[in-house]
Amino acid sequence: MQTSSEKANQSKELPRDRLASMDEQGHRVYIHPSDVQGPYKRWRKAFHTVLLVLFLVLPWIQIQGKPAILLDIGQRRFSIFGLAFWAHDTPLLLLVGLSVLFGISLITAIWGRIWCGWACPETVFVDYVYRQIERWIEGNAVQRRRLAASPWTTRKLLLKAAKWLVFTAVTLVISHSFIAYFVGIDALAVMIRHNPYDNPGTFGVMAFITAVLLFAFGWFREQFCIVMCPYGRLQSALLDEHSRIVAYDIARGEPRRGSQPVQVESALLQIERETAQTPAIQNQGDCIDCFRCVTACPTGMDIRRGLQLECINCMACMDACDEVMRNIKKPAGLIRYTSQNEMAGKAVNHTRPRVLLLSLALVGLMGGLATILTTRPPVKVTIFNAKTTPYQMLDNKTDPMLSNQFYLTASNYTFEHGEVRLALDDARFKIVSQVNPVQINAGKEDKQGFFITFPKSALQNGRTQIQVRLLTRADDGSWQRELTQEVPLVGPF
């Protein structure tokens, strides 16, 4: 005979054949996670505050006269923490991209999906901004669930309209801030002051981004993590039994109080049960089947069923369960941040091949990146011989004047226009060029032809080497370098 509490809990039990956020007809079930308090919530809130402040202020910060972050796709120039990149820096950008990829893989191999719950923009904005607004306007989780289930009334209509109005205003701030990363804060300020028809392209992009963000943060929410995010699907490949995950201690929790023992269905739960050091608690486990961890979960899942794709490691269930454990005077940690091996009482290998290889690859990539960035000159200049004619005789004197043709290529990696001046120290040699100094535009690679004239007597056996001095200078005078390049001169024997 079932007790009334068992019947109530059965009604809270999540379906086993579909997501908690979907009903039998496949319609969306909107999740209103319960509010939780605890150390993980406090840490997450502090971390999210830092991330949000960074997101909003980074476009305003200048480093060495350049925006801290600027991804100017139109002009194919990028500024990352004061370092200038151009489209022709693709190998460098590839190194940056690979470093991010290997970095995230390494973090996942060690700390699981910590990115999802703590740093992913979807989680940060939904949890910290949009759900907070919802809480202010529609009330706590219970009130919001009641409102959602209630029929449409004037009050419900007004509350929903107010919520979406505030959502739209906040999304406009976020989308403008987002656009500033691509056009720069000055250009954005000019666009805001002008009629949208003056910048229809940017205005259209901004309207589109606002609509997408409003949809993703205001309505789609956890569905993005569950059905769209490719990273979530990669977790089975990136995680192993040593990686940290949020997990329920089945050996300690089962059988749940006032209920039948759960059907152990996942491999993880099976391993835990078979190998746990803590002897299985035979009559009553510590879990009181209160469903607090389930109602607190922003993806609506039941962590007691083992590791699932929906889990974003937000740790809300840990705070929720620890609170319950405190109330029933049991030790915290029935749901904890641990690894499958640790939970099963096995050793955790922190130097396993996966971690070592990923660390090595990351160190190699970052070392390569740092070396290139610190040794890359702001302007790279190269002189090479024209292949067409080795030399020209300019007169028929006893010691005739000769000329050799050269090309100068200069790549300007800065955001300022600059110039290169060619100079020779030996008075017998002269530079003949239509332009000297040569202008080199920001982010461009320029090529300029020139001649060096000299008397035949300067040669020995028809050839010699001379040093050409190259003086490079930016418009703002912020840098000045002198390089030398040895060039060969040829003439008749």
Which positions lie near ligand SF4, rule CB under 6 A? Answer: 246, 248, 253, 287-293, 296-299, 301, 303-304, 311-317, 320-321, 324, 334-335
Query: What is the nearest approach in angstroms of ligand SF4 to the Cβ of residue 55?
Result: 22
Query: What is the nearest approach in angstroms of ligand SF4 to the Cβ of residue 285?
Result: 8
Query: What is the nearest approach in angstroms of ligand SF4 to the Cβ of residue 376?
Result: 43
Nearer to ligand SF4, 141 or 180 (CB): 141
Query: What is the nearest approach in angstroms of ligand SF4 to the Cβ of residue 308?
Result: 8
Nearer to ligand SF4, 168 or 327 (CB): 327
Query: What is the nearest approach in angstroms of ligand SF4 to the Cβ of residue 377?
Result: 49
Nearer to ligand SF4, 171 or 313 (CB): 313
Nearer to ligand SF4, 38 or 253 (CB): 253
Query: What is the nearest approach in angstroms of ligand SF4 to the Cβ of residue 115?
Result: 13
Nearer to ligand SF4, 36 or 95 (CB): 36
Query: What is the nearest approach in angstroms of ligand SF4 to the Cβ of residue 440?
Result: 53
Neighbours of 456 (CB within 10 A): 17
Nearer to ligand SF4, 70 or 321 (CB): 321
Query: What is the nearest approach in angstroms of ligand SF4 to the Cβ of residue 284?
Result: 12
Task: Round to whole Å and give the CA distance between 72 and 77.
Answer: 5
Nearer to ligand SF4, 180 or 246 (CB): 246
Task: Round to whole Å and give the CA distance between 454 and 491.
Answer: 10
Nearer to ligand SF4, 124 or 312 (CB): 312
Query: What is the nearest approach in angstroms of ligand SF4 to the Cβ of residue 301?
Result: 5
Nearer to ligand SF4, 31 or 84 (CB): 31
Mapping DSSP onto H, E and C, the string for 280-322 reads CCCCCCCCCCCCHHHHHCCCCCCHHHCCCCCCCCCCHHHHHHH
Query: What is the nearest approach in angstroms of ligand SF4 to the Cβ of residue 214?
Result: 23
Nearer to ligand SF4, 324 or 402 (CB): 324
